[in-house]
Amino acid sequence: MSVDRRQMLASAGTVGFGFALSGAVDAVFGGVANAGTPAAFKGYGELVADPKGVIDLPKGFRYAVFSRAGKDTLNGGGLVPAAHDGMRAFPAGLGRSVLVRNHELSPGTTDPTVPQRKGLVYDPAAPGGTTTLSVAEDRLLSHVPSLAGTYRNCAGGGTPWNTWLSCEETEATPTSEAGLTKKHGYVFEVDPFGRLRDSAPVPLTALGRFPHEAVAVDPADGTLYLTEDAAKPYGLVYRFRPRRPLGGPGSLRAGGKLQALQVPDVRDLSAVVKLGTKLSVTWVDVPDPDAATVSVRAQIADAKVTRVPKAEGIYWSRGRIYIVSSYAKKSAGAALDHSGQVWRFDPKRSTLELVLRLAVGGRFDGPDNITISPFGGIVLCEDGDGENYLVAPSADGTPYPLARNAGSDSEWAGATFSADGKWLYANVQGDGLTVAITGPWWRG
């Protein structure tokens, strides 16, 4: 499908109020009308100032802080590492959840790093990795390291077989960065339930070596969709067709085919402005996923792929894949300025639709991680300028604050719901906090 230039350069009036939404996303942003979610979500009211100065929430909501970086001690010793980022909650029975949490740490950091215990270490020179937390609602039961020796573990995603795919946001190698002993830029599978029993972490090389951001898995056919946060040139959106789809823990090691997204006639998704625009998608094979000599995103000519400024969160829900672009700036080479986009990909129809666009200058900016509640409501983690919020958009395009970081201007990250939808777990990265939030989700 060729894109009409009028769709790409629509009048600024459609996006001038900070948030704009397609009218076709009611079921996504408003949720499904049932006992858990209102038919017409109108927010939870004004946020109430937290007397402790940590998290502002709407009336009737409450939070608890647990597993604080540099202050609390992990089971078995060592401080909780810093730079909390992507996270996923896995059901563990009896009202409990197991959280796997990334730590976006780079060599040279002075912050607490992930303890390098036997069987968990990929590269001793890298400080990042994951920790695994067992929680009962807002009570921490245990927290231990679960992956170590990795570099800048940013986001990731869960699998249908209940493992976490932790993504390295880097392309560093021993040649490019002194001290490293192995190449980085991989995805690692972390099993919160101990089904993988390796002597050391195994990089999933077939998923590509590039600055990974996040990954989502389509449970219908096992296809993986991956985002890349990179510049010069801008990163790509990828899909990975595994040789053993839905094969369970460890099955992705069997390899598969990595491909990059192409939208004919669109070289940069920031050029699309008109909400509801649907684009036909094709996929281009990646010649060398391991990037032996050339970065993956530079192996394919610009005319054959579609680039995405600040490709960040990605999430599967109800047969669709939701993809976030945090912002775009013409001054940095993007086609047009924006303060955030959300795209919806339909794998059956192979179409990509722009469903949300934040105009420059609005109250909210810089969406990063994205999650969707069991009831269908979206929550965006802000990593923007100034104050940062958890944002819950409505179907008519109105952005409602769900929570505000009252303690600093640090970003939110890793928002994830418990399986029953009662608890939202999230991280405040710079402050090193993981919080549990609950309240009358049905109200609004």
Tell me the pLDDT tens digit for each residue of 181-210.
999 999 999 999 999 999 999 999 999 999
CA torsion through residues 235, 241, 247, 252, sign: negative
For CA atoms 301, 329, 229, 316, the dihedral sign is negative
pLDDT, the chain, mean: 91
Cis amide linkage into residue 192, ω under 30° from 0: no
Q: Is 25 left (phi over 0), alpha (psi -120 to 50) or beta?
A: alpha
| Tens-digit pLDDT profile for residues 106-157 | 999 999 999 999 999 999 999 999 999 999 999 999 999 999 999 999 999 9
Q: Is the pLDDT of residue 8 over 80?
A: no
pLDDT at position 11, please? 32
Residues 324/328/334/335 CA torsion (nearest 10 deg): 80
pLDDT digits (tens, 9 = 90+) for 247-259: 999 999 999 999 9
d(C-alpha 123, C-alpha 435), whole Å: 30
- Dihedral of CA 368/369/375/376: which sign? positive
210 has which bridge partners?
none
Higher-pLDDT residue of 424 and 95 is 424
- Given a cut of 60, is residue 263 above it in pLDDT? yes
Q: What's the DSSP call for residue 254? A: G
pLDDT of residue 4: 41
Tokens 């942003």 locate to 29
Closest CA to 381 of 371, 396, 393, 394: 371
For the chain, the helix, strand and coil percentages under 3-state DSSP, each to the nearest 5:
5, 40, 50
| CATH superfamily of this structure's domain 5-438 | TolB, C-terminal domain (2.120.10.30)
Provide the whole-model pTM. Answer: 0.93
CA-closest candidate to residue 370, choices 187, 153, 190, 215: 215
- Residue 39: what pLDDT? 54
Q: What angle do CA 192, 195, 201 make, to 5 degrees?
A: 75
Report CA torsion sign: 32, 38, 39, 45.
negative
**Length of the chain measured in residues:** 444
CA distance 370 to 380: 5
Residue 265 contacts residue 279 (beta carbons within 8 Å): no
Which residue in 416, 388, 384, 372 sits closest to 25, CA to CA?
A: 372
> DSSP label at 28?
H
Q: Where are the domains of the chain?
A: 5-438
Among residues 318, 321, 324, the alpha carbon closest in space to that of 356 is found at 324
Residues 6+ apart with CB under 8 A from 292: none
The alpha carbon torsion through 105, 367, 212, 233 (nearest 10 deg) reads -110
Q: What is the mean pLDDT of residues 45-53?
A: 97
Write out pLDDT tens, residues 51-83.
999 999 999 999 999 999 999 999 999 999 999
pLDDT at 311 over 70: yes
d(CA 93, CA 404): 31
Longest CA–CA span in the chain (Å) reads 60
Cα-Cα-Cα-Cα dihedral of 41, 45, 46, 51, to 10°?
-120
Query: What DSSP line would sit under 365-388, residue for residue?
Result: --EEEEEE-TTS-EEEEE--SSS-
Q: Which amino acid is at 432?
A: G
Residue 148 identity: A
**Any idea which residue has 């469903």 for tokens?**
355
**Interatomic CA distance for residues 230 and 226, integer angstroms:** 13
> Per the structure block, which two tokens stand in for 281?
């998608």
pLDDT of 341 over the 90 cut: yes
**pLDDT-above-90 percentage for the chain:** 85
Q: What is the pLDDT of residue 397?
A: 59
* Residue carrying the six token digits 């625009």: 277
pLDDT of residue 376: 84
